[in-house]
Amino acid sequence: MENSRLLQPICLLVVVAGVLFVYVVVNIYQTGFADFPIFIKATQHFVATGELYPKDLSLYGPAAAIYKYPPTLSLLILCLLKLGFGKKIILLFFFAVQLIVYVGSLWLAIKLLKPEKSHALFITLLLLVSLLHAPFFETLHGLQLETFILFFVLLALQSFQQQKMLATGLILAVPVMLKIYPLFLLPWFIYRGGKNILFGFLIGSGVVVALSMVAFGIEENTWFYSVLLPEMLSEKALLINENMNLARYFREIPWVNAATALLCSKLVFVGFLAYFVFTMAKNNYLKIGSDIEIELSLMVVLLMLAITNSWSNYQLLLLLPLWVAIKSCTNGSANKVIITLLCATVLLLFFSENYRIHNLLWLPESLHNGLVNLRGIVPVMLIVCLLLIKVQINQGAKKLT
């Protein structure tokens, strides 16, 4: 039964969140963009010199202000440059596309995750969390690519639930070819959906690579995949506040050095991954619905733990597990789930120091920074939350049998 007493104040909060969302978006546009001008400059450099990637590997350190993604994004920028668009128009275009894609992601989430009951409550809670999600604003400020990655992961989930496995693989090729790290999700999709997903992925990525070869030449593509990519996969963690990897928290223990901190963070990741693989193997069959949503959400959270330098814009992808947990709460989850979810959500409302939007520091700065620094533990909190939901679902299934 719909709880109208709870729904009304949440709707009011959604209106307030919508006003804040518009304010921040306008503020970001007026302030300017952090990362995307670097991507445009790299493509313009290619047009002038024929070189997309400078061949000095020392330039490509963690958080370096240089284009070090696959050629795919630069290919899109190159098309706009060839059409005669200047830097300002390209920035405005990608800014508008980011907003449209984010709205499309919310629409897809509402469509895919609609619970069995309390539909209005679910939609209002989803909108409230999404409109106040600081990692989106941080992504928008840099015009980074996580908005597109989230959209295509949701699109792949929709295709997967419709059992269109070849199409699922084709869709997954897009986020992987924008940034390599979503490749982490592919084994789960293949395990649950079969070899057609792999075939689709290989076809999709092959087409993108072929187009990049035509646009930038064999040498630039070969250098990226054979030299630069292995270098980036082996990069060291920067133990700074902007990196949300757990190693930073272990490093703050007085007797723990950098190497031990990294080892501890990897052990946490391996432990959760081993448990997840074990429980997934026990349910070795294809299920469409809540189990699939929870498993994919767990994979997304594990991805956040796996990344050596987990910058704050990556946490935009945590919206998927947040949405799945909200769905479970509106279906009547236990208090432990709700409390854990609430804590995780609150920590994602505060802007990281390097992305702070002007005039939005409504808490004392020291308290604000302290809450931001805690954001790195959100993946662990969400893993606990999702596992509690999975246990509850399994207990409900046992009662039915």
Q: Could you give the angle at which helices 319-330 and 146-161 cross, rounded to 10 degrees?
A: 50
Beta bridge partners of 243: 311
DSSP per-residue codes, 346-398? HHTTS--GGGPPTT---S-HHHHHHHHHGGGGHHHHHHHHHHHHHHHHHHHHH
Q: pLDDT of the chain along its 401 residues, tens only?
A: 445 677 788 888 899 889 989 988 998 898 889 899 999 999 999 999 999 999 999 899 888 889 999 999 999 999 999 999 999 999 999 999 999 999 999 999 999 988 777 788 889 989 999 998 989 998 999 999 999 999 999 999 999 999 999 999 999 999 999 999 999 999 999 988 889 999 999 999 999 999 999 999 999 999 999 999 999 888 877 777 677 788 877 877 777 887 788 788 888 888 888 877 777 766 654 454 567 888 899 999 989 888 888 888 999 999 999 999 888 877 665 566 677 777 777 778 777 655 555 556 566 777 777 777 778 788 888 888 888 887 776 665 555 55
- Alpha-carbon span 130 to 20, nearest angstrom: 12
Task: Please tell me the distance from the alpha carbon of residue 129 to that of residue 139, in angstroms, as a whole number.
Answer: 16
Tokens representing 231?
A: 């270098």
Where do we find the tokens 């679902």? 393
- Whether the CB-CB separation of 71 and 220 falls below 8 Å is answered with yes
Instruction: Give the CB-side neighbour count of residue 41, counting CA atoms within 13 A.
Output: 10
Which of 394, 334, 389, 360 shows the shortest CA–CA distance to 22? Answer: 360
- 127 touches 17 (CB < 8 A): yes
* φ and ψ of 54, to 5 deg: -60, 140
Token pair listed for 294: 């929870």
Give me the numbers of helices (H) and strands (E) for the chain, helices first please: 18, 0
User: pTM of the full predicted structure?
Assistant: 0.92
Q: In terms of residues, how long is the chain?
A: 401
